[in-house]
Amino acid sequence: MGGLIICNLTGEQGDKLDFAELQPEYRVGQEALFAALDQGGIEAVVVRSRGDDPEAHLCLRQLAARWPWVIRIQQTMDATARYQAEGGDVADASLPYNADASRVEYIIERTRPMIARLRNPALEALFAELGELPPLPEQLSGLNQMIDEQANESTASVAPLFRGCMPYLKQLMELLNNPLFGSSRHLFSINEAVRVVGLRTLRDLGIMAHIINTFPQPEGWSSFSFEQLLSRNLVCAHLSERIAHSVGSDRIALSAALAAGLLHDFGMRVLVRLDQQRYFRVMEKAAALKQPVYAVEKLDYKLTHGELGASMLRRWGVSPRIVRAVLYHHVPKAAGDNTFTTLTAAHVADAMLPPLFNAMECPLGGRLSLSYLDAIGEMDRVSVWERLANDHGKQLQAHW
């Protein structure tokens, strides 16, 4: 168990919290916070701010980039509801200023097992084999800055961010105009795309474009098509979003659900690129045992494609709620939730869509966890979600 720092960005220390066991250190200002983090031994940070302060979100993003395994908690005073909700983009939890010590302790206890799974020795060994993880394109940092500054999406101009990077922009526009992404019209410019899909979805599609470029289908791989995998990702994204909409999720949560559905299984791409023969054997074994591929991945690699993808996303500083959904999308009960979350949307969408076709007829998709849905009180919605999934499944199968 590491230490806890409570840092106030407003220029004053603020109230101290009464913890049962933790002995937090108090800091004022980002410079003092980062200096303390450089010393090591810190498990969690609470960043306090006042009002809708974009600098606080920038601080949390920088913290995520430099210390991805530190648990990040945002605590705000006099902020709008929108700003607090947007905290889920940059922090593991967003709390009001009057939250007590027990709430902070609960967040740390809840997040600690997730961080441990993202850092298990098998993952560390695999990343050593992969080599240096290619960083996300700098254009995504520019989009994040516009998000944090609450830019007006109807007038935002993002085209300058993409000057001089035509291959990346071309891949992004291909995603936006893919018929399975669901845009009502063909998009001809990146500025037009912002007005149609919004900054967050554009950013998350930008992450997917980076993944496609970094981990293309290797020559000689024919067990399943990366293009068909992408098609399923796009349909899963919109189904996940509709599932979140069916429970009344806000705009920011809808965007997170779409992103989780889009990114939930890109770890399979990485495992194939790493050693296609080994992954072929994993698929063969899964087919012979009639077990889902993630279960056999765990036996062979000591990790799953969900854990690998989530660990990569955490290292990239992606929204913790998306990371969590990708990590647990096959084993949602392990998350310990008691209510609907982004994870629920991604899990249900993946489990209810038709599985990806593959040469061995290996179960590549997930299995719906009814016990999980019962535990979070959502069994009554299953029939509604099945109807939504049926519509999207027909669309996917027609495209295949």
Alpha-carbon gap, residue 230 to 244, rounded angstroms: 21
Q: Is the pLDDT of residue 12 over 90?
A: no
Q: What are phi and psi of 46, to 5 degrees?
A: -105, 120
Q: What's the confidence (pLDDT) of residue 235?
A: 97
Mean pLDDT estimate for the chain:
95
- What's the rounded mean pLDDT across residues 185-207? 95
Alpha-carbon gap, residue 226 to 356, rounded angstroms: 10
Q: What's the confidence (pLDDT) of residue 21?
A: 85
Q: Is the pLDDT of residue 219 over 90?
A: yes
Alpha-carbon gap, residue 317 to 323, rounded angstroms: 9
pLDDT-derived band at 185 (thresholds 50, 70, 90) equals: confident
- What's the rounded mean pLDDT across residues 233-253? 97
More confident site: 182 or 323: 323
- Residue identified by tokens 């609470």 is 46
Alpha-carbon gap, residue 129 to 229, rounded angstroms: 24
- What's the rounded mean pLDDT across residues 12-24? 85
Q: What's the confidence (pLDDT) of residue 29?
A: 95
Of the candidate ranges 14-23, 292-301, 326-335, the one whose mean pLDDT is the lowest = 14-23
Q: pLDDT for 116-175, tens place per residue?
A: 999 999 999 999 999 989 999 999 999 999 999 999 999 999 999 999 999 999 999 999
Exposure b/e, 231-242, CB count within 10 A at least 16 = b:
bbbbbbbbbbbb
- Quick one: CA torsion of 276, 279, 285, 288, rounded to 10 degrees? -70
pLDDT-derived band at 1 (thresholds 50, 70, 90) equals: low
CA atoms within 13 A on the CB side of 379: 7
Q: What's the confidence (pLDDT) of residue 20?
A: 84
Residues 6+ apart with CB under 8 A from 85: 94, 250, 252, 253
Alpha-carbon gap, residue 294 to 251, rounded angstroms: 31
Q: pLDDT for 64-120, tens place per residue?
A: 999 999 999 999 999 999 999 999 999 999 999 899 999 999 999 999 999 999 999
pLDDT-derived band at 400 (thresholds 50, 70, 90) equals: confident
Alpha-carbon gap, residue 4 to 41, rounded angstroms: 9
Q: pLDDT for 315-372, tens place per residue?
A: 999 999 999 999 999 999 999 999 999 999 999 999 999 999 898 889 898 899 999 9
Q: Is the pLDDT of residue 14 over 90?
A: no
